[in-house]
Amino acid sequence: MVERFLQSFRYAGRGLSRLLREERSFRVQTFIAAVVFILIGVFPLKIWEIIVVILSIVMGLILEILNSVVERLVDALKPRIHPYVEVIKDMMAGAVLIASMGAMIVGVIIFLPYLVLSIAAVL
């Protein structure tokens, strides 16, 4: 039982590793997430702000993973099977874009006051 549980972590790690190797968008979003986690450590954010930022990051990364999965599934069908393949891929890309823009807006709303205060303190 424990071995099966550990095996599920190995599968998940293998999937994340493949995403990092093969999906440029996932690498970019992971890099941005790492920068944001550094900013969380730098600025004295309130706990609710940290939670909102982390949820925004997680939502964006999960949608990027789902987008990659859907792209691979519909690529297996190819447009010769159905003309909706392109539409499906575009819709998933739109979902990722909305999540990313939402996360960016959340980040600006939360981090901008801290950035302004930090700059004002230096001046």
Give the residue numbers marked as catalytic: 64
Cβ burial 36-70 (10 Å sphere, 16+ → b, else e): beebbeebebeeebeebbeebbeebbebbbebbeb
Angstrom CA distances, 79 to 67, 87, 102, stand at 17, 10, 31
